[in-house]
Structure 1
Amino acid sequence: MALLTLVQDEVERVVAQAKHHFRRARPFMVDPALPHCGKGENALKAYPSGHAAFAWATAWTLAQLTPDHAAAVMARAQDYGLSREICGVHYASDVEASHGMATAAAQALLTDPRLAAMVAAARAEWPRP
C-alpha cells in the first residue's frame, strides 16, 4: 500500500500541473447538450484525466509487481479510462494523455534505486497463485 500511495501521490502531482497548464474544457462544457454522468465538474480540468491516470498508474504498478496478472489488470485500467469518455467528462485524448503520463511516472518510481527496497517488499507481499 505504501508503494501504491507513493505512486499515486506523484501521478496526482504531475496531472494537477498539466491540468493547470492546459485548462481544457470538458466535453459537456463545450456542448451543453451532450449527456454526461452526474453533475460533472464545471472546471477547466479535462486534460489529462485524473481518474484515468489513477487507473493507469495503479494498473502499471500492479502489473510490474505481478506480471502473471498484467494483461487483466491493464485491461481493467483501459475499461476505466473508457468509462470517463462514455460518461462525457473527458475526450479520448484526455484519457490517452493520462495513460502516458501515469505509466511514465509510475515506471520512473518503480525503477528508482532509492525505492528498490520498497518495490522488493511490495513484490514479496503479493500473493502468488
Structure 2
Amino acid sequence: MKLMAAFFLVLCSLSTFAQGIHPLEPSSGHYKILQAQSPEPHSQRAWMDTIAFPPEKYGWSITYSLVQPYYLSTTQVGTLQNWLLAPANSSAQTRAELDYLLTLQNKRTPEQSKRVTFLGDIGYWPHVDLQKKHPGYQRNLQDLFFEGREILGEQCKAEHFPKTAQVLKGIMQDMRIMEFSVKYQNLRARPYQLEPKLQALAVMGSPSFASGHTLWAYIQAYFWSELFPEKRQQFLNLAEEIRQSREIMGIHYPSDNEASRILAHKMLELMSYSAKFQEDFKAAKGEWKEVQMKIK
C-alpha cells in the first residue's frame, strides 16, 4: 500500500515538453574547479600527447558508430560528435584530474569498490534487445529501467510500461551511437594509461572521452525528470552517483563525465524537437496516467 501511495504522488507530477525541457544545471564541485585549469597542451609534458587509446584495445562497440540514429538525425550526431573536445593529455587540467583520481584511489574503501563495481555492471545494449533468446535479454531490459526502478519502485519495469520502454530504447540507441562516435573521434587514453600509479578497478575496451556510463545515466535522468519533475533531484542524484563511480574506479577523468552530462542534456533537447519523439513521449506519459486512474 505504501508503494502504491508513493506511486500515486509521483504520477500526479507528470509533465509535457510544451515549454521545452528543464534547463541544464551549471557545473559545480570538483568539476567546476578542475575546469578552471588550462586544457591546452603543456610543452614540458609533450610526450603525453603522443599517447592515445591503442587500436589493439578497440572492442566490438566501435560498430555502434555505423548504426542509424532513432530520434536524432545523422547531421545532429555529426555536429554533436565534434561539439566537445577532451583536454590535452599534457594539459594542466588533465594533470590536475589525474591527481584527483589518485586522491580518490587513496580513499577508496571496500564498500565503495563493491558499490561502484555493481553500478559498472549496469547498462542497456540495443543489440541484445534484437533477440529474445539472447542469454542477457531479460537482464538487459531490467537495466533499461534501472533508474526508474531505483526512484519509483519495483513496479517500474519494461513489461509494465511498454510505451515508456519504447522511448527509452530509442534514447539508448542514440546514446550508444553518440557515445562511440565521440569516443573514437577523440581516442583519449584512459587515466591508467597516463598515470602508472592508478590501480583501476576495470580495464576498458574503448577510449575514455566521453563517458558512456555517465551519458546514459544523465540522459535517462533528464528523461525521467521530464515525466516526473518533482523527482528531478532524486534522478539527478542517482546519475551523479553513477558518474562519480567511474572516477572512483579510476577509469574516467572528471572531464569525461562533465562532457557527458552536458552532452546528454543537449541530446535530449534536440530529441524534444522531433515529432517522433514528441509522439512517443506523449504515449509514455499516457500509460502512466492510465496507471494513475487504476490507482484511483
Equivalenced residue count is: 127
User: What letter is aligned with 2:204?
Assistant: E
Q: For the residues of structure 1 that align with 2:225 and 2:273, how far apart are their CA atoms? A: 14
Q: 1:41 aligns with which of 187, 204, 219?
A: 204
Q: 2:196 aligns with which of 4, 29, 32?
A: 32
TM-score by length of 2: 0.41
TM-score by length of 1: 0.90
1:9 and 2:173 equivalent? yes
Q: For the residues of structure 1 that align with 2:280 and 2:263, how far apart are their CA atoms? A: 22
CA contact (8 A) 1:61 1:110 kept: no
Alignment partner, residue 57 of structure 1? 219
Cα shift readout 1:71-118 (whole Å, capped 9, x = no counterpart): 100111011001101110000000001111111112221332232221
How big is the shift at 1:33? 2.1
Q: Which has the greater radius of gyration? A: 2
CA contact (8 A) 1:66 1:123 kept: no
Q: CA RMSD in A?
A: 1.7
Alignment partner, residue 238 of structure 2? 76
Q: For the residues of structure 2 that align with 1:27 and 1:112, how far apart are their CA atoms? A: 37
Q: Which moved more, 1:118-127 or 1:3-12?
A: 118-127
Tell me which stretches of 4 or more aligned residues in structure 1 moved more than 4 Å: none
User: What letter is aligned with 2:178?
Assistant: V
Alpha-carbon spacing, 1:24–1:55, altered in 2? closer, same or farther (3 Å): same
Structure 1 segments unaligned to the other structure (5+ residues): none
Structure 2 segments unaligned to the other structure (5+ residues): 1-164
Cα shift readout 1:37-68 (whole Å, capped 9, x = no counterpart): 13x1254x100001110101111111111112
Q: For the residues of structure 2 that align with 1:125 and 1:110, how far apart are their CA atoms? A: 19
Structure number having the greater helix percentage = 1
Q: For the residues of structure 2 that align with 1:53 and 1:93, how far apart are their CA atoms? A: 12
Q: Percent of aligned pairs with the same residue? A: 26
1:90 and 2:252 equivalent? yes
Q: What is the DSSP-based 3-state SS (H/G/I as helix, E as strand, rest coil) of the residue aligned with 2:199?
A: coil
